[in-house]
Structures are given as structure tokens and as C-alpha cells.
Amino acid sequence: MPISSRFVVRSTILLLGVGFLTLLGIVATTIWLSERAQYSFSEVVEARETRGASVELRTALQTAESSQRGYLATGNEIYLAPYATAKAQTMRHFSTLKRLLANEASFTVLLDRLEAVIGQKLKEMDDAVAFKSALRERDALAVLQTNRGKALMDEANLFLSGIIRRTDDRLTAAVVEQRANAAWLRWVTVLGGLVIVLVVGGVTILTLQYAREVVQARDEVHALNASLEERVKIRTADLALARDRAEMLVQEVNHRVANSLAMVSSMVQLQARALTDQAAKDVLSETQARIYAIASVHKRLYTSKDVRVVDLDAYLAAVLDQLAVTLKNEGGGASLRYTIEPLKMPTDRSINLGVAITELVTNAFKYAYPDGNGEVRVKLASLKNGSAELIVEDDGIGRNENALAKGTGLGTRIVHAMASNMEAKIEYLERARGTAARIVFPLKEAA
């Protein structure tokens, strides 16, 4: 039974869909296991630091006790230097241990008791050393004979041994999880690879069989050369119609996407108006600006003859004009001025650039001029090496690298994410007044 082209297309799409889903599953599993590996690595590092601090603390206590005993036994002050050093190390290592276990509620009582034991142990040793230094041999001997120092040392060793065992258990658990994750990754990779091989084999067999039938059909066409020209015309007309339909479909998709994003933007605006919390309204306004930056690209695509590239001057001008109106309506005192060179860039990179500019300009309006009006400037120009340069600058209060973020920090993360998608470099230039953000990105033509 001959294979129809519709069957070939549907079967190929189905097989490729299965292969794609399998590949997606492998990637998702790999990402998840990578996240788990990173978490396990953090656990291992923290456990190793905790174990190291516990061991070092115990060693420092033992060194201090040994040096104290040496001084008490010989009276030689050469033992006092390592004794003082060991005491300082004891307190430093305990501080480190306390910091590492600060988030462990189960260790709170233990750490409080360990701190008291260490304090009492150091005081007991200091008292004996002080008596020895004052030539009060009997008093120093009496301190030793109480065996209180040994009891305190045993108690400290007990606590520290418990912490070390706990960290060893964490290390063991992390290793076990890593082995289990590695086994999962192997199985998922093997099974996914097997499925992909089967998919490729199925597509190959189907394609070869279809190609063989095409050859047979071609021979039949040669035999029926009298009607060949007419058939070619019909086929050409069908292809032209399919092309026209495809172009119309692309335009319709972009039109619908633009309308849908505009509807989402309107919903966000209505939600913002219904809120009384100014912080929430600001967040929704920023979200609306991001949505508009994306929707504007699709608005231009469904009226463009080439959907692969976007004219940056027209696109960014529309985004910045809309953004300036929105920020003015929200009470922003700054004004916006821009100079954009006519450039073209692939669609996906244009969206990234539009979102990045939206975030930078919004941040400038919000934070650059807290006490009055000012100006925000946007410049876009091409460079000689086939790249382009975007600068968003203001003359406001400037940017402090060491200061805490004034907002949630989401805008900065979005800018860096968009810059990464564009293979761009972002930097903040030094200025006498204000802030200047500079993004340099390649102007790659659409494939």
C-alpha cells in the first residue's frame, strides 16, 4: 500500500515530537540532577567546614591543656606562648562553629552548653596558671586535683564528638544521594538515547520508503510526460498557495500574540488600579512595561514583510515613548530623551534588548532623582567591530556598588539575563554625577 505524504508528515511529526519530548526529559532531568548536585555540594562543603571547625576546636583545647600542664609541671614560661595561642584559636574556632550551626535549631542548646563548658575550662586553666605564676604551688595543685578540668574536657569532647558524627552522617548522606543521582542520570540518558535512536530509525525507514515511492512516482511521471507540464503548473500553484498561507499564518500568529499581550497588559493595568498598596502597584506597572516591550515587537512583525528582523529605531522609539508616558503618569519627575541609530537585529534579540532598556530606564526614573526633576538619556549606536552600544545614563544621585538594593533587585537580574541572551557585556561607567549603564552586543543578522 503506497504511503501518502500526509501520513509521512504526520508520522514524522509524531516521531520527532516523541524524540523532542524525550530530549526535553533528558535535559530537564539533567538540570534537576545538577541542581541537586549543587545542593549536595553545598551540604558537603558546609559539613566539611563544620567538621573541620569541630576538630580544630578540640585540638586547640587539647593543645591549651597540654601547654598548661607543661607549665604547671616545669614552671618554664616557654609553655605560656602556645597556651595563649591555643586559647585564641579555641575562641576563634568556636565562633566559626557557632556561625556554621546557627541555622540548626537542634544544636542551639548544645552550643550554649558547649560555650559554657569551654568558658569554664579556660577559666580553670587560667586560674591554675595564675597560681603557678604567683608561686602558689599548693593552690595550683589543688585546682588540678579537683579533676574539674578533666570533667569539663570530657564533656567538651562528648559534645564535639557528637557534632563530628552528625557532620559525618551528612557527608555520607550527600555521597549516597550523589551516587543515586548519578545512577538516575545514567538510566535516563540510556533510555532516552534508546528512544531517540528508535525515533531516528523510524524516521529514516519512513523517509526511505517514501523516497522509494517518490522515485516510482517520478518514473510514472516520465511515462506520462504528456501531462507533465500541466501537473507542474498545478503543483507550483499549490506551493505558492501554501507559501501565501504560511505567510498569512505567521502574520496572524503575530497579530494574535500582540493582541493577547495587549490584553494581558490591560488586565495588569486594571489590577494595579484596583490595588491600594503602592509597592504592589509599582511592581504591576513594571510588569506592564515589560509586557509592552514584548508586545511591541509582535505588533511590528505582523505588519512587516520580514519577520526575522526588527527595525530598532522604530521599535525602541515606540517602547520608550510608551514607557515615558507611563512613568510620567505614575509621578516620575524625570524626562526622557533618546538617540537611536537605524539598525536591524533578529527578533528574539530585539525583545531582549527592549526588556533590558525598559528595566534600565525604569530604574533611572525611580531612583536617580529622588528630590526633583532630571533627565534620562538613551543612546544606541553601531560600533566598527560589528557590534552595537547601548547607553542609559542620568545625572542623578549615582550608583553605590556596596549599597543594598533599593528595590527587590528583580530589575537588575532581568537586565543581566537579557544581556546574557544577547551575548552582551554590561558595565556601569564612572561619572562625576549620575549613573551610566553600557551594554555592548553583537549585531547578528537573522539566519
Ranges of each domain in the chain:
8-190, 237-442
> In this structure, which amino acid lies at residue 341?
E
| Cβ partners under 8 Å of residue 127, min gap 6 | 143
Cα(277)–Cα(385) distance, integer angstroms: 48
What confidence score (pLDDT) does residue 189 get?
86
Cα(202)–Cα(194) distance, integer angstroms: 12
**Does the pLDDT of residue 251 top 80, yes or no?**
no
Weakest mean pLDDT among 278-282, 387-391, 397-401: 278-282
What confidence score (pLDDT) does residue 390 get?
93
- Residue 328 pLDDT class (50, 70, 90 cuts): confident
30 burial level (CB within 10 Å; 0-12, 13-18, 19+): middle
- Spell out the CATH class of 237-442: alpha beta
Query: Are the C-beta atoms of residues 8 and 206 closer than 8 Å to each other?
Result: yes
**Does the pLDDT of residue 447 top 50, yes or no?**
no
% of the chain exceeding 70 in pLDDT: 80
Cell numbers placing 245: 498561507
What confidence score (pLDDT) does residue 302 get?
47
- Residue 379 pLDDT class (50, 70, 90 cuts): very high
**Does the pLDDT of residue 54 top 50, yes or no?**
yes
Q: What is the mean pLDDT of residues 14-25?
A: 85
274-314 pLDDT, tens digit per residue, is 666 655 655 666 566 667 566 655 555 545 566 778 888 88
- 305-323 as b/e: b if 16+ CB within 10 A: eebebbbbbebbebbbebb
60-88 pLDDT, tens digit per residue, is 888 988 888 888 888 888 888 888 898 89
126-138 pLDDT, tens digit per residue, is 888 888 888 888 8
CATH architecture of the domain with residue range 8-190? Up-down Bundle (1.20)
- Residue 380 pLDDT class (50, 70, 90 cuts): very high
- Residue 340 pLDDT class (50, 70, 90 cuts): very high
352-378 pLDDT, tens digit per residue, is 888 899 889 888 888 888 776 889 999
**Does the pLDDT of residue 337 top 70, yes or no?**
yes
- Residue 256 pLDDT class (50, 70, 90 cuts): low
Average pLDDT taken over every residue of the chain: 80
What confidence score (pLDDT) does residue 441 get?
92
293 burial level (CB within 10 Å; 0-12, 13-18, 19+): buried
196-209 pLDDT, tens digit per residue, is 888 888 888 888 88
